[in-house]
Copies of this chain bind each other. A is one copy, B any other.
């Protein structure tokens, strides 16, 4: 009888569950209200000004139907803006606002703290190993989900 602890799928779920909880706790302690998903989206918008939603989704491996709601909430919080593209009238160009920039800057220590806490049971080397193995497994399975990671086409 296989135990849950022998199932990588179950370990994946647990690890993610803890990651989200730690992130939210650290960010709230810092006085902010931002989810891991919203943070990743905002940071990626900042790094790629004017990108469209599909490109953003590809860069962080979100489903295109999920990103709609995430951006809705970033816009509602005044952290990002969505405007029609002049080149392609189907597309929306995304920009970070000054408020979004400020928030990102101030929230960074909490985000980094969350990453440390998530690995607190491991030595530095073990943490590196875990990340390396996760990256490798993820790369091999990238195309198995509906929302694979995609590079910038540039």
Contact = CB atoms under 8 A, between A and B. Distances in A.
B126 A136 contact: yes
A18 interface: yes
Interface residues of A, number: 60
Nearest to A8: B118
- Main secondary structure, interface of A, reads helix
A86 interface: no
Nearest to A127: B8
A85 B134 CA distance: 43
Contact of A16 (B7, B12, B111, B146): B12
A142 B133 CA distance: 21
Interface of A: 1-2, 4-23, 25, 36-37, 40, 44, 47, 60-61, 111-112, 114-115, 117-122, 126-127, 129-131, 133-142, 144-147, 149
